[in-house]
Structure 1
Amino acid sequence: MTKFLLSVHVLAAIIAIGPVTVAASMFPPAARRALEAPDDPGATGTVALLHRICRAYGALGIVVPVFGLATGLAMGVLGDAWLITSIVLTGLAAAVLLALVLPRQEALVEGQGTRGTTVRLAMFTGIFNLLWATVTVLMIVRPGSTTGA
């Protein structure tokens, strides 16, 4: 059962979190282009599409920690420091996405943002991506692991 849970956890991370990190990273430059050419339907359409991807795959991303916790429980590692740290960082990443990234994207999609909004959005997106990269490294290295990594 542990292998199944771990497989779903990893697949969910790849399928759900990967698109959010890519789309969120693409959003600020696309939004700047849309701000420079507000009459360009391609530019505004791209921004709207990237925002929908971030919202949809961000919502789907809840599967990652759910199966991560189930896997940790099955492996008996819920009390390990690396996993607790990963849980905290995952929560922070979700908070950054929900409170800082998506609302700024929404404002830009609705035409209420400025170039300054895209700069702050790029910074928050970088923080979001860095948090997920750190969680990924912790999942691979697992301090104290017996896998030899």
Structure 2
Amino acid sequence: MTKILLIVHVLAAIIAIGPVTVAASMFPAAARHVLAEPDDGRARAVLRNLHRVCRVYAVVGVVVPVFGLATAISLHVLGDTWLIVSMVLTAVAAAVLAALVLPRQSAVLEGPADVADTRRLAMYTGMFNLLWATVTVLMIVRPGSTTSV
């Protein structure tokens, strides 16, 4: 059962978090393009689609910590420091996405926005991505485990 939980956890992370990180990273540059060419309907549609990807996959991404927690319980590592740090960083990443990235994407879509807004959004997106990268490294290295060298 542990292997199934771990497989679902990893697949969910790849399928759900990957698209959010990519779409969120593309959004600020696409927004600057829309600001530069406000009559470009195709660019505006791309921007709306990137935001939709972020919103939908953020909701789907809830599966990742749920199955991660189930896997941790199954492996009896719930009290390990690397896992606690990973859970805290995951919560912070979710908060950054929910409180900073998604609302600012919506604000840019609703307008008016300027280049400074897109730069702030890029910074928040970078924070989100860095948090997820750190969690990924912790999941792979697992300090103190038999697989870490």
Query: TM-score by structure 1 length?
Result: 0.98
Q: Contact 1:104 / 1:113 at 8 angstroms: preserved in 2?
A: no
Correspondence 1:1-149 to 2 at 5 A: 1-149=1-149
TM-superposed CA distance for 1:112, in Å, is: 2.7
TM-superposed CA distance for 1:110, in Å, is: 1.2
Superposed CA deviations along residues 104-142 of structure 1, whole A, max 9, x for unmatched, are 100111123221110000000000000000000000000
TM-superposed CA distance for 1:25, in Å, is: 0.3
Count residues in correspondence.
Answer: 149
Gap runs ≥5 in structure 2: none
- The 4+ residue runs of structure 1 with deviation greater than 2 A are none
Q: Contact 2:86 / 2:135 at 8 angstroms: preserved in 1?
A: yes
How far apart in 1 are the matches of 2:79 and 2:117?
40
AA aligned to 1:26 is M
TM-superposed CA distance for 1:93, in Å, is: 0.2
Q: Contact 1:9 / 1:67 at 8 angstroms: preserved in 2?
A: yes
Q: Contact 2:142 / 2:148 at 8 angstroms: preserved in 1?
A: no
Superposed CA deviations along residues 27-65 of structure 1, whole A, max 9, x for unmatched, are 000000001111100110110000000000011000000
AA aligned to 2:24 is A
Q: Contact 1:72 / 1:78 at 8 angstroms: preserved in 2?
A: yes
Tell me, what secondary structure is at the counterpart of 2:49?
A: helix
How far apart in 1 are the matches of 2:96 and 2:147?
32
Gap runs ≥5 in structure 1: none
Tell me, what secondary structure is at the counterpart of 2:73?
A: helix
TM-superposed CA distance for 1:147, in Å, is: 2.2
